[in-house]
Amino acid sequence: MMRVPATADPSLGETVDSGAPPALAAAGITVRFGGLTALSDVSLEVAPRQITGLVGPNGAGKSTLLGVFSGLVRPNSGRVWLRGEDVTAASPRSRAARGLARTFQQPELFLGLTVREHLVLAHRARREPARMWRDMFDPRSLFRPSKIEKERVDGLLELVRLTRVAKVPVAALPLGIARLVDVGRALASDPSVLLLDEPLSGVDMKASENLLRVFEQVVVQADDPLSLIIVEHDVAAVLALSHAVVVLDFGERIAVGTPEEIRNDPAVRTAYLGDSEPLARTSTATASLAPPVTDVGQQA
């Protein structure tokens, strides 16, 4: 097992638990699709308990990089580490078992189940994978979770702010709430890294605010360190949410730093705007990271 070089990227800030390896690291990632270079020598480090924003114009390589992390895309060169362990050759499944989780743009939910049943299923899938299939064909057992399952799922519901819609069938939920169910599903596996590809796309402003608050809270409240990597087109939202931001353009990492550094980075402004105006300081969606949104139930 090869360890990550301790130095890989000091610009990404100090790890909270100094001495602990990065939650995720990548070095020298290059991906070619035929003649197209989707990623060119990209490196980054994500510290434990850190939210890292990954931004860049369309086609910059953001989703490809998430694919390299999750194991769906094989890089032509470069390495990936999870908590210091080289997983470059590991399958998506094996990376998931080592603490990597992701959400989906169109959450893949079992439409007949309620929010709570979904989370019971997700919770079991991690601990008793064989049982999951039985549960899917005999969903009545999902209505009778054990005491421990119930406690854990109640905690998850609280964390992703879905307690009030726990009994609602997921088929009846708007996309913004379905995304929260998907976040809860991903968190049920106790990941150390959660990958979010455009979690705000297609949801209205109020639902965006709610999602952003949940992302903040899950990192703060996680017992074991949890890091998020979020790809999102709402750059102002990413700048407001993230501890560190990585900017890709045409497959190259053109900037990395704190949100403040990124806002003032001339190369970033050129890539986004073709001029040198500072990036927006606030977004409509994140002006909100202040007031809590408590009426999730009304949106269901």
Site residues (CB under 6 A) for ligand ATP? 33, 36, 38, 56, 58-64
* Binder of residue 64, out of Mg ion, ligand ATP, none (CB less than 5 to 8 A by kind): ligand ATP
Instruction: Evaluate whether 136 touches 121 at the Cβ level (below 8 Å).
Output: yes
Does 52 engage in binding with Mg ion (CB under 5 A)? no
* Binder of residue 288, out of ligand ATP, Mg ion, none (CB less than 5 to 8 A by kind): none
Buried b (16+ CB within 10 A) or exposed e, 29-66: bbbeeeeebbbbebbbbbbbbbbbbbbbeeebbbbbbb
Instruction: Evaluate whether 113 touches 143 at the Cβ level (below 8 Å).
Output: no
Q: Which is nearer to ligand ATP, 44 or 218 (CB)?
A: 44
Q: Which is nearer to ligand ATP, 66 or 119 (CB)?
A: 66
Stretch of 14-22, 55-63, 205-213, 238-246 contacting Mg ion, by CB under 5 A: 55-63
Instruction: Evaluate whether 44 touches 26 at the Cβ level (below 8 Å).
Output: yes
Does 103 engage in binding with Mg ion (CB under 5 A)? no
Helix (H, G, I), strand (E, B) or coil at 41: strand
Q: Which is nearer to ligand ATP, 61 or 176 (CB)?
A: 61
Q: Which is nearer to ligand ATP, 59 or 139 (CB)?
A: 59
Type of residue at 83: R
| Residue 38: CB minimum distance to ligand ATP, A | 4
Q: Which is nearer to ligand ATP, 121 or 248 (CB)?
A: 248
Helix axes 115-127, 147-159, angle to 10 degrees: 120
| Residue 64: CB minimum distance to ligand ATP, A | 3
Q: Which is nearer to ligand ATP, 270 or 294 (CB)?
A: 270
Termini Cα distance of the chain: 47
Length of the chain: 300
| Residue 120: CB minimum distance to ligand ATP, A | 33
* Binder of residue 92, out of ligand ATP, Mg ion, none (CB less than 5 to 8 A by kind): none
Closest-by-Cβ residue to Mg ion is: 63
Instruction: Evaluate whether 250 touches 233 at the Cβ level (below 8 Å).
Output: no
Q: Which is nearer to ligand ATP, 66 or 157 (CB)?
A: 66
Instruction: Please enumerate in sequence order all residues whose Cβ is within 8 A of that of 203, keeping only pairs 6 or more positions apart, or say none.
Output: 174, 175, 176, 179, 211
| Residue 271: CB minimum distance to Mg ion, A | 16
**CA angle, 295 as apex, 289 and 300 as ends, to 5°?**
115
* Binder of residue 286, out of ligand ATP, Mg ion, none (CB less than 5 to 8 A by kind): none
Instruction: Evaluate whether 82 touches 95 at the Cβ level (below 8 Å).
Output: yes
| Residue 194: CB minimum distance to ligand ATP, A | 17
Q: Which is nearer to ligand ATP, 9 or 249 (CB)?
A: 249
Does 63 engage in binding with Mg ion (CB under 5 A)? yes
| Residue 62: CB minimum distance to Mg ion, A | 5
Stretch of 57-65, 117-125, 168-176, 248-256 contacting Mg ion, by CB under 5 A: 57-65
Q: Is 101 exposed, middle or buried (0-12, 13-18, 19+ CB in 10 A)?
A: buried
Beta bridge partner(s), residue 169: 114
Return residues touching Mg ion (CB under 5 A): 63
